[in-house]
Amino acid sequence: MSCLDKDPKNTNSNEQKQENKVKLGNGKRLGLEGDENLKFLLNGGELVKIRSSSWQRTRFIKLQEDCETLSLDSQKIFKKNKTYTIDEIESVRIGRQSEGLNKYTDPSDEDRCFSIIFNDRKKNLDFMAASPEEAKQWVNSLEKVISNMRNLNHQQKSEHWIISCMRKADKNGDNMMSLKELKHFLRQINVEVSDTYAAELFTQCDESKSGTLEGSEIKIFYNLLTKREEVDVIYGKYSQTNGQMSATDLLNFLLNEQRETATLKDALQLIEKYEVDPTAKQVNCMTKDGFLMYLHQEDGCILNPAHKPIYQDMTQPLNHYFISSSHNTYLMEDQLKGPSSTEAYIKALLKSCRCVELDIWDGANGEPVIYHGHTLTSKVLFRDVIQAIKNYAFKTSEYPVILSLENHCSLEQQKLMAHYLTSILGDALLTKPLGKTMPTNFPSPEELKGRFLIKGKRLNKLDAAFTNNNTMEDGNVSEEDEAAELNKENGQKPKSKKSKIKLAKELSDIVIYCKSVHFNGFEHSRENQAFYEMSSFKESKAFHLSETSATAFMHHNMDKLSRIYPAGSRTDSSNYNPVPMWNVGCQIVALNFQTPCREMYLNQGRFLPNGFCGYVLKPEFQRSLSSQFDPNKLTKGPWLKKKTFHIMVISGQQLPKLNKNKEKSIVDPLVRVEIHGVPADNARKETHHIDNNGFNPMWNESFQFEINVPDLALLQFVVEDYDAASQNDFIGQYCLPLTSVQSGYRRVPLFTKRGDPISSAGLFVHLMLMDVQ
């Protein structure tokens, strides 16, 4: 409940009644007024919080009256209750699905357990309820509130956030706002203003001259605060019908500003979809509120709505796609002493990663384990990882998942690995080629939907899968290239090139389309390698080839798969730039998914369209055998489509505070616009910074970029907090392929460092991509 929700004349001094009204108001905004699940969470209850076999303590959990914060009592006299916002929660999982619950609780308690998983590096919260019914009630109730929060439209999220800040500013809870509380509120929403301006604003709204804002005065203040002058100007230009936009006016806007191939029917559909005033809708007109709603929704977003679902041809051979890929997927942090976890695989798969890596070593009790060999990283059981992969592989995307095995195990444990792979993954594991005859090319992602492919060493050619006398026994194969490189970088005595490791037949037989082989040059590969034989390249080798033999590298990738991995020297789990690798058509460009960084932002941007399914079709010139494309030396060809790209960064909305604990810490935002693609297209330009305003900064700065190969270009917006004395702080970013950008006035959403949406925050820009004559 906020000052906006309540008429001061009806103020009730009874605290319990006030609290109930507060809860009701917030439930209403979430569309859950009177909902039993919401009531359950607001009342709260006791759960056993589990950290280890010895640390299992009862805690009282409840949803606070803002309907967006969970509180957990600490039961320590001088310690504040722990709080977690609903926005931070990635998912709620019923059962013993977390590593902690799996390890520290009994299987008989499966139905009483659940976990709350967070977006960032916050540790999971593992709980046990008194009964299976109670556990289910907690999970269902939390999922309902999370789902409703996520399904709020941008306008509702914005209002929800502003009202939440108003509530925090209303220190004495009287549902009125004094001048002091108004200044506190402005700092809450990331704006610092002079005392004079705050007083002017207050006086303007205080129509009753009572010294406080209440009821309708609060609404005047809210409307003044959320007024979008830049939108008013655009709306005013096109609203030519009694001060409103008729369908014809809207069509003119779509054709002239948004550069869409729209019809009057499209304009009428937008009015039907977004107009909030029934009277205006009845006469096929769009009010300013409806226009603002349109700009904030999918149709007004920078990402082309037609590119949001799967829109590409998914029936091409597998190697014709860029494939979202992870390196050392098991690691949560660095490469030397950080934890290994099944959770790292779950997070990567839920972000549509379609190629995960498993470094497998002999473990205790005959059980293979996964960890970063010869380091202090913790170990996780191979079978637990395979179970987690099976459970989460196809929740975000139906398309195939490649398990890249780096096998260091004895024959006995290899046989157990093969057993776990076949028994846990079942029919989803590809154990023979598709079809009844020996293939000459890869199947498509469409044909491999819901399937797992194993990448690893194989004892013989794939033809053996079609013979009845495949009687080959365990044998010797050369070591994986990445393992050999790592041993060298760790200072171990290098093995001779002829050095072999033992490989179990059972493991060899399930390697079908991704047989690992050493790279001996493009000519050797062309003459000696089958299509299913693929090489892995350390980043330095791959970058050298992309600079010196770009066209040959691209042709190599037209009928084979290539995997690129970070140098072993990147012990901090940093990443290399994936763009030059995509420029030469490399498919499996493996990055450290656990590290929030510029390179991961680019990876997220590359795979953002096409249903975020982890597969993006390469441009036709990277798939055609006649192509002579070289990203480093641009010549005439179908890739060369020269464009001039005009961008105006107009304004920002509700940028987050970076230091929430310091009320007076207000951001000074600037926006950097970057193009990433072929070397000739790489560029970046930056706005000036705005002092002390993260709520509604206005830049109105225009930039121009010259683009040569739009099919490979990525557009990125980075918002930072300017600091004259040190490095700027990251606020948010958004990246997408240039081919998926909509022209005209568009909203740009913003993501956190870890790639999660920042609720209600965004940029407002104008874009125009023009052909160069």
Q: List alpha helices for 471-538, DSSP H.
A: 481-489, 505-508, 522-528
Non-local (6+) Cβ contacts of 163 within 8 A are 2, 4, 5, 29
Torsion of CA 81, 82, 87, 92, to 10 degrees: -110
Residue given tokens 């995509």 in the structure block: 582
Residue 85, beta-bridge partner list: 69
The CA angle 686-692-695, to the nearest 5 degrees, is: 85
Confirm if 585 and 618 have CB atoms less than 8 A apart.
Answer: yes
Residue type, 172: N
Q: Report how far residue 453's alpha carbon sits from residue 430's, in angstroms, rounded to the nearest whole number.
A: 6
Residue 12, beta-bridge partner list: none
Given phi > 0 = left and psi -120 to 50 = alpha, else beta, which region is 601?
alpha
Helix (H, G, I), strand (E, B) or coil at 331: strand
Q: Report how far residue 525's alpha carbon sits from residue 412's, in angstroms, rounded to the nearest whole number.
A: 33
Catalytic residue among 372, 408, 556, 766: 372
**Phi and psi of 516, rounded to 5°?**
-75, 130
Q: Report how far residue 594's alpha carbon sits from residue 424's, in angstroms, rounded to the nearest whole number.
A: 26
Residue type, 316: Q
Long-range contacts, 595-602 (Cβ 8 Å, 24+): 596/752, 596/753, 596/754, 596/755, 599/575, 600/575, 600/755, 601/716, 601/718, 601/733, 601/735, 601/751, 601/755, 602/577, 602/578, 602/676, 602/714, 602/716, 602/735
Q: Please state the three-class secondary structure of 271-311 as a single string.
A: HHHHCCCHHHHHCCEECHHHHHHHHHCHHHECECHHHCCCC
Q: Report how far residue 154's alpha carbon sits from residue 147's, in angstroms, rounded to the nearest whole number.
A: 14
Helix (H, G, I), strand (E, B) or coil at 137: helix
Q: Report how far residue 733's alpha carbon sits from residue 715's, in angstroms, rounded to the nearest whole number.
A: 11
Catalytic residue among 154, 160, 320, 327: 327
Element (H, E) at 380: strand 380-381
Q: Report how far residue 316's alpha carbon sits from residue 238's, in angstroms, rounded to the nearest whole number.
A: 45
Torsion of CA 72, 74, 78, 79, to 10 degrees: -60
Q: Report how far residue 350's alpha carbon sits from residue 354's, in angstroms, rounded to the nearest whole number.
A: 10
Q: Report how far residue 317's alpha carbon sits from residue 458's, in angstroms, rounded to the nearest whole number.
A: 22
Q: How far is CA 431 from the centre of its chain?
A: 32
Q: Is 327 a known active-site residue?
A: yes
**Phi and psi of 537, rounded to 5°?**
-120, 130
**Catalytically active residues, by annotation:** 327, 372
